[in-house]
Amino acid sequence: MNPLVSSGLAAHPATALSVNVNKVALLRNQRALTIPSVTRIAELALDVGAHGITVHPRPDERHIRAADLPELAALLAERPGAEFNIEGNPFHNLMPLVRRFRPDQCTFVPDAVGQSTSDHGWDFAADGERLAPLIAEARALGVRVSLFVDADPAAMATARALGTDRVELYTEPYAAAHGAPHQREVLARFAAAANAALAEGLGVNAGHDLNHENLAEFLRAVPGVLEVSIGHALIARALELGIDAAVRELLRAIASGARG
């Protein structure tokens, strides 16, 4: 049963929380040591109710390394229902990892090799033709595919035609608008994009710069969000509160958003 429901945090199955552990690896990589342990933090997050773990092993291995994935995959394999989501650019280093680890989900992100962080969704006019066979390959391996997209309702029919299972709405524009006068307008755009995706039969994920302060409002305004992946702000909060409390804080925000 969904931990949110079993824990009483939600009256019904709600949006799943996937904890992104990139920033644990970023800190670990500053020394030739094994602490903080990416796998241990992932384990603690799952223990307190996170639905899954997300990693974004970038080609330069600035944080998550390919060597981190076997232990994480083994941890998740021990947890029935817990999901492993591997993000990356399928034209760079992602596909060999998808083929080897066959995660529950892979999220195709159009980042350039040296890009400082993810900051835009796919340009299907430019890349759609190259994406389609890779989407088909991942799905044939039994891996759900999610495409990282901007909140553009007009792009959802193309996303569907490319064969993806889900889209992940890039939420930094919402996070940047949170609390500002134009927040309502920005949320309306995200709601329109989510409704367009749902109308195409796509699942809706969301992520980037979501946090305990902005998450509930997002979920109240944007329909059908199956999964949020949250990393940077969660790990920052965990430095203050501890990982248990930081994850529980987000689970409460999800439950609050689900209640409307």
Ligand X SMILES: NCC(=O)COP(=O)(O)O
Under the criterion CB under 6 A, does residue 214 sit at the interface with ligand X?
Answer: no
Which residue from 43, 83, 87, 227 is in contact with ligand DXP, where contact means CB under 6 A?
A: 87
Q: 56, 83, 168, 212: which one is catalytic?
A: 56
> In angstroms, what CA-CA distances link 57 with 50, 149, 153, 174, 195?
20, 19, 29, 25, 31
Structural contact between residues 27 and 58, judged by C-beta atoms closer than 8 angstroms: no
Which residue from 229, 246, 254, 257 is in contact with ligand X, where contact means CB under 6 A?
A: 229
Report the nearest approach of ligand DXP to the CB of residue 110 (Å).
10
89 binds, among ligand X, ligand DXP, none (CB under 5 to 8 A by kind): none
Annotated binding-site residue? 31: yes
Which residue from 49, 88, 110, 207 is in contact with ligand X, where contact means CB under 6 A?
A: 207
| 118 phi, psi to nearest 5 deg | -75, 130
Under the criterion CB under 6 A, does residue 110 sit at the interface with ligand DXP?
Answer: no
Q: 43, 51, 83, 87: which one is catalytic?
A: 87
Contact string (CB under 6 A) for ligand X, positions 2-31, x = contact = ------------------x-----------
Q: Does the annotation mark 212 as catalytic? A: no
166 binds, among ligand DXP, ligand X, none (CB under 5 to 8 A by kind): none
Rounded CA-CA distance 144/61 in Å is 24
Annotated binding-site residue? 63: yes
Q: Does the annotation mark 208 as catalytic? A: yes
Q: Does the annotation mark 43 as catalytic? A: no
Which alpha helices (H) appear in 52-123, and where do they start and end?
69-77, 94-101
b/e string for 71-95 if b means 16 or more Cβ within 10 A?
ebbebbeebeebbbbbbbbbeebbb
Torsion of CA 195, 123, 108, 179, to 10 degrees: -50
Annotated binding-site residue? 117: yes
Annotated binding-site residue? 232: yes
Structural contact between residues 150 and 186, judged by C-beta atoms closer than 8 angstroms: no
Give residues with Cβ within 8 angstroms of 234, minimum separation 6.
19, 20, 211, 246, 247, 250
Under the criterion CB under 6 A, does residue 166 sit at the interface with ligand DXP?
Answer: no
Rounded CA-CA distance 121/190 in Å is 13
Q: Are strands 225-230 and 203-207 parallel, antiparallel or unpaired?
A: parallel
Under the criterion CB under 6 A, does residue 57 sit at the interface with ligand DXP?
Answer: no
Q: Which residues bind ligand X (CB under 6 A)?
A: 20, 54, 168, 207-210, 229-233
Query: Could you list the residues that contact ligand DXP (CB under 6 A)?
Result: 20, 22, 56, 87, 109, 117-118, 148, 207-208, 229, 231
Catalytic residues: 56, 87, 208
